[in-house]
Amino acid sequence: MLRKKLSSSHLQGVITALVTPFDKTKVNLVKFEELVQKAVEADLCGIVPLGTTGESPALSTDERHALIQRAIDAADGKLAVIVGTGTNNTKTTIENSRVAAQLGADAVLIVTPYYNKPTPAGLKRHFTNVANSSPLPVILYHIPGRCGVGIPASLVLELGKHENIIGVKEAGGDVWRSGEIAANAPDNFAVLSGDDTLT
């Protein structure tokens, strides 16, 4: 874990979303550790295990915990480990975030609840409850193409005032939206590009 609590000022540079390698039907933790080591050797800012690229909804609880622990051990405090703990269930997301904290993660990435398509008011309650309960700093994850619902820019800015929400990963492909959020967000709120076509 990083020596200090992760803040938006730490979120500068490259943060790689890691794939989850498999050997047929089993997670390949050796290959996964090699990916983390490559990130360390490349002097990246951080890694994201269990994000969209890591196929977290398709993994078992034991697989997720093993990947988090392996990422933290292999990173050895040399880069931030930001764990994708979001689900479409608020209580499960909170529990996942607490486990990530217990295992030594630096922050959590919370995806918009998928499938359920909550209203903006529902999104606000979800993210606020997670941020209030998470022992780790929270990064919002806007990826409407995968989740079926996005976080309105005005809500991102409102949530950005929460002391435990330190940024947003924008993966909606709308550079104007990202610019609007960046221009109006608090100084201690990071706007990260999660869309390869925009980086």
| Cβ pair 156, 168 in contact under 8 A | yes
Determine whether 114 is an active site residue. Answer: no
- CB within 8 A of 178, min separation 6: which ones? 170, 191, 193, 198
Catalytic residue, from 4, 24, 124, 169: name it.
169
Q: Residue 75: which of 108, 104, 109, 110 has the closest Cα?
A: 104
Determine whether 141 is an active site residue. Answer: yes
Catalytic residue, from 4, 24, 31, 141: name it.
141
| Cβ pair 82, 109 in contact under 8 A | yes
Task: In whole angstroms, give the CA distance from residue 18 to residue 41.
Answer: 15
Residues marked as catalytic: 141, 169
